[in-house]
Structure 1
């Protein structure tokens, strides 16, 4: 078995940062009416700026694959070229097309040479799953290097025009033309961007991060879907898939919009997060004093105090000064968030050899959690 190191990290955030007051300029007004939920949601998540791969007219400036390629391109230099790449592993919840895979579309833009591809589909954990594929490939000796990515392009999915048919349908039924909170909620939470790591079997440069271990958990066997798209939740908790709806329903009910069962999120995301993290730390005999930097991906600052309290109650008291987050300034970029947070820390000049970093990524899709423990080399 071989050691695995993150030797370089890069990010790509499209265009200029978008303030809270500018959001509806980019995403548009549903039914020409400002969202009543926007200010409440932003007050809770505390995000003050984010990035969109669209202009103010709603036109795309980048595809997801282009965002990913632009992040990856920054990993290539005189010491490591695109021609040396062996594995490309890409995670996203918002691929540009259903098929071919996201990794294949990114590889098509790189135009380097034949490489092994892996595409991880899911929500926030898809980026960590992509990382684990690269980690295990190098760990086993199957490859000497890998590039792993997390990326999202959700702005076009959140555009007001995507809900026009549903509004028209509601009016024809003489119902209030208001989009359900489960759909409106995520319009003020999610944004675009990409992050990329270069993994190698030897450390390189002034700062490398050795991946000591990675762990993942799923509670789908006992909990129903919480965040979903391309279907509609039924009364019994099952998801009716998009291909069981008529094309008219796809438009009239915004079937492909991203939805969040907020009550389910509030009930389970923290307890299951605390449970899984404690199990991961216990398995590897890691105590809070062996964590110098804690990078939790949180969708909203609303959850930070609850997570801290829940961990403390289980004996995992990570001091507040060890928490490292950049949600406020870059927004919630789903699978890319943990990449972009670690990239900022890795290139900050703060890290010292021997320090240890814990990455924590929850996914509310059907409650999955992923962790990685790193040592600065």
Structure 2
């Protein structure tokens, strides 16, 4: 079973830290209301950074820890739902910023599952010989999509980036990826095309939800997303473990998407594992979409609690609806 070796991880969190109390200046809320319902105490917001710049900082940190030169990178996969440009890809801009001139680059949008999808794509390219060394960069600026008049969602999100350098190695690895497009309207951000003198606005852009959501603002049906996440995350972890030939109790840590502490608690209960085995950063990062797992992985790597050979499982869910889990050896 050809798996992966993560040579180095990196993260970037903007200096601007926003506490729960700061939201009370413009919406009806409190630190207790936010923290008890989400597990979030503070989050980082970009203050002049771009999405690609945050990704480049995280990428360089991962390269430094891996002891790998940028010129050695053959492939860069970027994940983001908040790209600075419609085109080119974030990955291409990061490539230029870090000097990885030999890499081929592209972005994917699997929302909050993006890192797991990208890690699996990188592994496949490494195994088939398309690349020898890959860089996965997940960078998100959800403050760019946040409706700060919506008290139920604006307190959830944060900005940041995470990255890892990956090579193929004979290690245990398995993944479980999936999507349920019937739930496409449960988490969304409208991006209507500009007015054209030659064509009408597509009516289908208006039937995604009965709610009056402003274009460019992220909206979600929290109750239905909770149901989806607490069902699919345990199933994805179980299926990935079965494919890897291990049991859930063999995992040293689960690194979940940091969406909501209550979701993680319910999912861990459904998996049958104690919360001590879930590595959480949400209290100080909030929900950073696809960047949340690599940010958490980097913090876990720096914690000193991992040893080589430990089995880890990264698991996420997000808009689409998408979900995915990957079991790999540290």
Deviation at 1:197, TM superposition (A): 0.1
Deviation at 1:253, TM superposition (A): 5.3
Q: Does residue 151 of the first structure (1) align with residue 112 of the second (2)? A: no
* Cα distance in 2 between the residues matched to 1:9 and 1:304: 23
* Cα distance in 2 between the residues matched to 1:373 and 1:279: 10
Task: Spell out, residue by residue over 1:159-183, the C-alpha distance to the aligned partner (whole angstroms, 9 max, x if none).
Answer: 65xxxxxxxxxxxxxxxxxx5xxx5
Q: Does residue 264 of the first structure (1) align with residue 258 of the second (2)? A: no
Match of 1:133 in 2: 121
* Structure-1-length-normalised TM-score: 0.76
SS of 1:241 mapped into structure 2: helix
Match of 1:52 in 2: 45
| 1:230–1:359 Cα change, 3 Å | same
Match of 2:259 in 1: 299
Matches within 5 A, 1:325-364: 325-363=280-318
Match of 1:6 in 2: 6
* Cα distance in 2 between the residues matched to 1:24 and 1:73: 36
* Cα distance in 2 between the residues matched to 1:254 and 1:289: 44
For the Cα contact (< 8 Å) 1:147–1:196, is it kept in 2?
Answer: yes
1:76 corresponds to which of 39, 63, 86: 63
* Cα distance in 2 between the residues matched to 1:17 and 1:157: 18
* Root mean square deviation, CA, Å: 2.8
1:65 corresponds to which of 30, 52, 55: 52
SS of 1:201 mapped into structure 2: strand
| 1:24–1:280 Cα change, 3 Å | same
Matches within 5 A, 1:59-138: 61-77=48-64, 79-138=67-126
* Cα distance in 1 between the residues matched to 2:216 and 2:72: 39
Task: Spell out, residue by residue over 1:106-127, the C-alpha distance to the aligned partner (whole angstroms, 9 max, x if none).
Answer: 2232344142112111310122
| 1:330–1:253 Cα change, 3 Å | closer
* Cα distance in 1 between the residues matched to 2:161 and 2:286: 12
SS of 2:78 mapped into structure 1: strand
Match of 2:204 in 1: 240
Which is greater in Rg?
1
| 1:157–1:39 Cα change, 3 Å | farther
For the Cα contact (< 8 Å) 1:134–1:146, is it kept in 2?
Answer: yes
| 1:112–1:285 Cα change, 3 Å | closer
Deviation at 1:370, TM superposition (A): 1.0
Match of 1:213 in 2: 174
* Structure-2-length-normalised TM-score: 0.85
SS of 2:59 mapped into structure 1: helix
Instruction: Tell me the matched-pair count.
Output: 316
Q: Which runs of 5+ in 2 are unaligned?
A: 193-202
For the Cα contact (< 8 Å) 2:54–2:160, is it kept in 1?
Answer: yes
Deviation at 1:285, TM superposition (A): 3.3
Match of 1:20 in 2: 20
Runs of 4+ displaced beyond 4 Å: 36-39
Deviation at 1:282, TM superposition (A): 2.9
SS of 2:152 mapped into structure 1: helix
Deviation at 1:22, TM superposition (A): 2.5
* Cα distance in 2 between the residues matched to 1:22 and 1:211: 45
* Cα distance in 2 between the residues matched to 1:122 and 1:79: 29
| 1:76–1:310 Cα change, 3 Å | closer
* Cα distance in 1 between the residues matched to 2:307 and 2:15: 33
Match of 2:198 in 1: none
| 1:304–1:154 Cα change, 3 Å | closer
Match of 1:57 in 2: none
* Cα distance in 2 between the residues matched to 1:211 and 1:66: 33
Q: Does residue 375 of the first structure (1) align with residue 329 of the second (2)? A: yes
SS of 2:143 mapped into structure 1: coil
| 1:354–1:113 Cα change, 3 Å | closer
Match of 2:195 in 1: none
